[in-house]
Amino acid sequence: MMLHIPEVLTKAQVAEIRAAIDAAPWVDGNQTSGAQAALAKRNAQLPEGSPAAAAAGGRILDALSANPLFVAAALPQIVFPPLFNRYAGGESFGMHVDNAIRQSRDGAVRIRTDLSATLFLTEPAEYEGGELVVEDTFGAHEVKLPAGDMILYPASSLHRVTPVTRGARVSSFFWIQSLVRSDEQRSLLFQMDLAIQQLSGRVGAGAPELVSLTGAYHNLLRMWAEL
């Protein structure tokens, strides 16, 4: 399941984060790449351990925890500390699949990557190219979102970033280990959650049918969740 999550950050929050990270030292993005990714990856990145990255990442994690759409879709167990990259001057990232396991450089965080996320920090009009292209069984999907919006998709997906031919594309990227490993099961739970919320507005939270449906949701989550 791919999901566009709008306004994870406000424009003011984006501006504050950009001011902090733009002034910080950037390094070759391949400092965090595996052997295969290094062959396809050309960009700049804030190094892990950067104080600016840690502060900006903390603000993003706070915003995610308060975003009901993200919580419902991802059912997050662990969110990897957000990283930050920048593409400019023709830089790109060729087709690849994210590593199944990610560990922070200090070893404090180690997760199974069920979901990948890209949070855009540059307005689309500020650069040309730089589309995130995600492939699934329905074909290739090009993603280029307003600053503050995020795309969430299975980490098992083939994906790439097209060359940035004008301006610069700045974004945050990270991974999520979900309480529910299976994308299919997670998608079903998300659909049920949305239906429950919509019905609650129509029939009231105490309606017997809604109570039954909510019980089914939690029983499925109980069956499928890994703690």
pLDDT at 188: 98
Q: Record the tokens describing residue 2, joined without a space.
A: 């791919």
pLDDT (tens digit per residue) in 98-108:
999 999 988 99
Q: Helix (H, G, I), strand (E, B), or coil: what is residue 171?
A: strand
| Residue 80 burial (C-beta neighbours within 10 Å; 0-12, 13-18, 19+) | buried
168, 15 in Cβ contact below 8 A? no
The architecture CATH gives domain 183-224: Irregular (4.10)
Q: Do you know the residue count of the chain?
A: 227
Crossing angle, helix 183-203 and helix 208-224, to 10 degrees?
160
CATH for the stretch 3-178: 2.60.120.620
145, 134 in Cβ contact below 8 A? no
pLDDT (tens digit per residue) in 1-38:
999 999 999 999 999 999 999 999 999 987 665 555 66
pLDDT at 38: 61
- Residues 136-147: what's their mean pLDDT? 94
Domain-by-domain residue ranges, the chain?
A: 3-178, 183-224
